[in-house]
Amino acid sequence: MEVFGNYIDGKIDKEGEETTLLSPIDGSEFGKLYLADEEKTREAIDSAETAFRKWSRSTLKQRQEILSKLLGLVEEKADRYAWLESANTGRTIRQSTFMDVTIAIEHIRYFATTKEFVESREIEHPEYPGTKGIVQYRPMGVVGGVAPWNVPLLMAVWKIMPALLTGNTVVLKPSHYTPATAFELAKDLSSAGLPPGVLNVVTGEGSVVGTTLSKSEKIRALSFTGSTSTGKRVSREAGGTLKKMLMELGGKSPNIVLNDADVDKTAKGVLFGIFLHAGQLCESGSRLLVQEDMKDKLLNRIKFYMERMKSGNPLNMETDIGAITTMEQRNKIEALYNKGLDEGAKVYFSHALSSSVPEKGFYFPPTVLSEVSNAMEIAQEEIFGPVLTVTDFSSDEDAAEIANNSKYGLAAGVWSANTKRATNLADLIDSGTVWINDYHMISAAAPRGGFKESGIGRELGLDGIMEYTQTRHLFFGSDENALGEIARGIVVADQD
């Protein structure tokens, strides 16, 4: 059985309330976890604050060397990370192996090798000839990270790596449901040479650990990923501290299929968009918007592929259907699904789970609901599960109007054989990412984040790195600057 203690000042800390982690795959005991309280969280913050004094003076090269060593360790332990991620979250081992861990490795590589980020640049002052300016991108200080339970490894990478790269120290709160890979990453960073206190990992209830991070004056930036409602509460808690807030919140992403799209490729893309990790991804394409004259052909093809999806134990490499990470979430999915039926939605197809699914696991059958109007709750609220709603539209403008009729704006997809047509439609959609003839492809070099109530700020890419910096301007005066002499004369005039 795995045992997870909080990681503070370079040491594993097993003080605190002990709780049992259940694997969603079969309900068995996966591990033991020691929950941090407010005092333990403050201890982690103090450790990070002390470590910042030295770490902030390290060079960019030194920091990237540590990340490069981490990269080698994670590559060596890829199978270990994949097993931990699947056993803890319920996702299929195939997804953990070929997506989550593979992407995590490539994203660590990006931060370890990127040349995009520079710590300073020279500028000219057009008003003051002969002077020189240097713009510096300095670390914020202690950065707090609050991660959700759905993709713990990637969330840990996305919150830790850019903050360390830019010279900050970090206190990370992974979900108390899925802390396994975050703690593994912390241990491997220590082995890679990260000094004690630069990264601290504490986990517990959001109302305790998360609130302590939000309210702490010592936390100068807070990166939060979770639901929109929780994000608003976190923002209120942090409001009095004037810390920088980065938030990646909920989504209800439209996957739009135009009538000239390739039916077979699109059907696979739509299924990938919604059923990856059983729909438990904030950018999941949970709203299928399909042009009227394409609807029947596309749904028939979707059903064809859904009938061939294999249920079973997610730790079997042949299994296609993963578990729901928590029983609480499974119950929420079922409640929203039932509400949809009450509102008039029809079950177009639901994949019956076979007897090979572990009996005590947390599962919900992949389901397609048709005859869904955009006014229904299931079309507006985030289900965060393997339920796809289907709404048809007549024109491209109609599709954009339906897509944008949502409080969310995280992601979207557009499928068409005509790239110009797809791009024109993508330009009309209010979301931070729009995939054209693809879905779920997240690049370390590309900024990720939402419009409207899907968040503020960006993760990944140079935009995401810069979020963890504050800008300083150094102005170097010069005897050649005649305007400077004139300016000083406004206060101190030359005497005859």
What residues are labeled active site? Answer: 248, 282
Angle at 319 between CA 313 and CA 323, to 5 degrees: 55
Q: What is the 3-state secondary structure (H, E, C) of 318-368?
A: CCCCCCCCCHHHHHHHHHHHHHHHHHCCEEEEECCCCCCCCCCCCCCCCEE
Pairing of strands 17-22, 29-35: antiparallel
The secondary element (H helix, E strand) that includes residue 461 is helix 461-466
Could you tell me the two tokens for 363?
């599962």
Residue 93 burial (C-beta neighbours within 10 Å; 0-12, 13-18, 19+): buried
Instruction: Characterize 364-391 residue by residue with b for buried, 16 or more Cβ atoms within 10 angstroms of its Cβ, and e for exposed.
Output: bbbbbbbbbebebebbebbbbbbbbbbb
Of 301, 285, 280, nearest in space to 435 by CA: 285
- In angstroms, the CA 157 to CA 291 distance is 38
Of 380, 396, 406, nearest in space to 428 by CA: 396
What is the gyration radius of the CA atoms in the chain, in angstroms? Answer: 25
Could you tell me the two tokens for 115?
């040349």
Could you tell me the two tokens for 37?
């309280």
Cβ-proximal residues to 84 (8 Å cutoff; 6+ apart), any chain:
2, 180, 181, 184
Angle at 94 between CA 287 and CA 67, to 5 degrees: 95
Q: Is residue 147 a contact partner of residue 159, using CB atoms and an 8 Å limit?
A: yes
- In angstroms, the CA 97 to CA 169 distance is 29
Cβ-proximal residues to 218 (8 Å cutoff; 6+ apart), any chain:
45, 46, 49, 141, 142
